[in-house]
Amino acid sequence: MNDRDLLATLASGPTSGEALAARFGISRSAVHKRIEALREAGIDIDAQAGRGYALHAPCDLLDADAIRAGLTEPARALLATLEVEWIVDSSNSVLLRRAGVADGAEVLLVEGQSGGRGRRGREWRSPLAANLYLSLARRYAGGLARLGGLSLAAGVAVAEALRSLGVAVQLKWPNDLVIEGRKLGGLLVEGGGEHAGPARAVVGLGLNVCMPRAYARGIDQPWTDLATVAPTAAASRNALAATLLSWLLPALEQFDREGLAPFRERYASFDALRNREVAVLGGDALQGTALGLAEDGGLRIRLPSGDVRIVHAGEVSVRAR
């Protein structure tokens, strides 16, 4: 028995410990240990006399075939591989360790991460089978010099995908997806290559779908999930993943051809900071009014003096005042 098989069985309905032991050929004690391991990973499992074990909330496990079937034809044509794994250290790290394919995009979705991370090394809370942890690797002809805007272009594609599902999402520079100031998800771009030659980058997306409340206690900022703000969009993680990839894959192909320019205007319609007073933390502390994206993807800020400064993701964090 593995944890995925056990969780799939529980997802089909309440099951007694005796029935689970018989199904998987193990002892009742071993069943209890595996149930406790799932609970520690973030799965909320109830246990009631006469009813057995039952999931507190419905759970749909990720399925590569179902996701692939839900892709649009243009997106499917840009896909090299699509895999689903159980628990890894980090979906980005798995793809970064691979040599990569020559053409097309490699997509990896995982049910959980033991070392999920966000921007600047922060921990990304990754409970099992609750949210979406998706990484996409591909090569870019423009080289490292142009990849500075990649997370912004990917953010636009994700925001457009979510808006198509009725989610009133905004983008908080440089890489956060927010709803009314609460974090819904984030993007992390990693990779390497030549400054002006070929480069390979991995775009990682963490999206809160149905965050277990007990697991979220360690999150140190306001947050939300799709189950709270848009239950219909959260109903099927497989359908959600297919929609996201159907927007992401063509967008990253366009970014490879044209760079950030065609995404700047689209970004403006999602910009959570535009014309708001902000404080810039890290590097030179600044306060001013956010004016939107610069040509290279930096954030334009009008200082109280009237001068305009441009700050970049690698230098600062931004908090709306």
Angle in degrees, CA 231, 237, 121, rounded to 5: 100
User: Which of the residues 4, 119, 266, 309 is marked catalytic?
Assistant: 119
Number of H helices, E strands in the chain: 10, 14
How far does Cα 2 stand from its chain's mean position? 25
Q: Is 119 known to be catalytic?
A: yes
Q: Find out whether 167 and 97 touch, Cβ atoms under 8 Å.
A: no
Neighbour tally for 217: CB within 10 Å? 8
The token pair at 103 is: 């053409």
The response to whether 183 counts as a known ligand-binding position is yes
Q: Find out whether 227 and 209 touch, Cβ atoms under 8 Å.
A: yes
Q: Is 172 known to be catalytic?
A: no
The response to whether 117 counts as a known ligand-binding position is yes
**Phi, psi angles (nearest 5°) of residue 39:** -60, -40
What's the CA gap between 137 and 21, in Å, rounded? 41
User: Which of the residues 33, 51, 98, 319 is marked catalytic?
Assistant: 319
* E strand map for 79-230: 79-88, 105-113, 132-140, 170-172, 176-179, 182-193, 199-207
Q: Is the peptide bond before 304 cis (omega within 30 degrees of 0)?
A: no
Please name which of 73, 239, 232, 253 lies closest in space to residue 166, comparing C-alpha atoms. 232
Strand-pairing partners, residue 176, are 172, 186
The response to whether 119 counts as a known ligand-binding position is yes
The token pair at 259 is: 């760079």
The response to whether 92 counts as a known ligand-binding position is yes
Q: Is 274 known to be catalytic?
A: no
Q: Find out whether 226 and 210 touch, Cβ atoms under 8 Å.
A: yes
Strand-pairing partners, residue 201, are 138, 191
User: Which of the residues 183, 200, 237, 264 is marked catalytic?
Assistant: 183
Q: Find out whether 148 and 189 touch, Cβ atoms under 8 Å.
A: no
What's the CA gap between 246 and 230, in Å, rounded? 19
Among all residues, which ones are annotated catalytic? 119, 183, 319
Binding residues for biotin: 90-92, 113, 117-119, 183
